[in-house]
């Protein structure tokens, strides 16, 4: 005999409770700003360094990796803080 599975709140409720959308917007905005500053510093201000490999295109590829990784990290940290605050409010 199959037991009925009780209705559970969806994942959308968890995402909303943890403010994941807001955290992602903040995280990726901060990472884009930081990455733009790092790229501009390295490519525009420092320029070419003799004896060092790398073109602006290769630094752009590294900048994309930095932006995505840093954005995900900041989002995860902000979501952890939201979860911790939500758990404290429930106690």
Q: Model confidence over 24-62: pLDDT tens digits?
A: 999 999 999 999 999 999 888 887 777 777 788 899 999
Q: Which domain holds residue 58?
A: 20-90
Q: Which long-range contacts (CB under 8 A, 24 or more apart) does 17-24 make?
A: 17/86, 18/79, 18/82, 18/83, 18/86, 19/78, 19/79, 19/82, 20/75, 20/79, 20/82, 23/74, 23/75, 23/78, 23/79, 23/82, 24/71, 24/75
Task: Examine residue 62 and state whether it is found in any structural domain, yes or no.
Answer: yes
In a domain, 15, yes or no: no
Q: Is the pLDDT of residue 1 over 60?
A: no
Report yes or no on 47 lying in a domain: yes
The total of structural domains in the chain comes to 1
Better-scored residue on pLDDT, 31 or 15: 31
For residue 25, being part of any structural domain is answered with yes
Q: Return the percentage of the chain with pLDDT > 90, whole number.
A: 60
Specify if 12 maps to a domain.
no
């Amino acid at each position: 005999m199959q037991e009925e599975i009780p209705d559970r709140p969806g994942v959308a409720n968890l995402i909303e409770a943890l403010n994941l959308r807001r955290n992602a917007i903040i995280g990726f905005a901060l990472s884009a700003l930081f990455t733009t500053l790092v790229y501009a510093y390295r490519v525009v201000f420092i320029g070419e360094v003799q004896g060092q490999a790398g073109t602006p295109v290769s630094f752009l590829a590294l900048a994309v990796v930095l932006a995505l990784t840093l954005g995900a990290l900041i989002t995860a940290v902000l979501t952890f803080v939201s979860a911790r605050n939500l758990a404290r409010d429930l106690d």
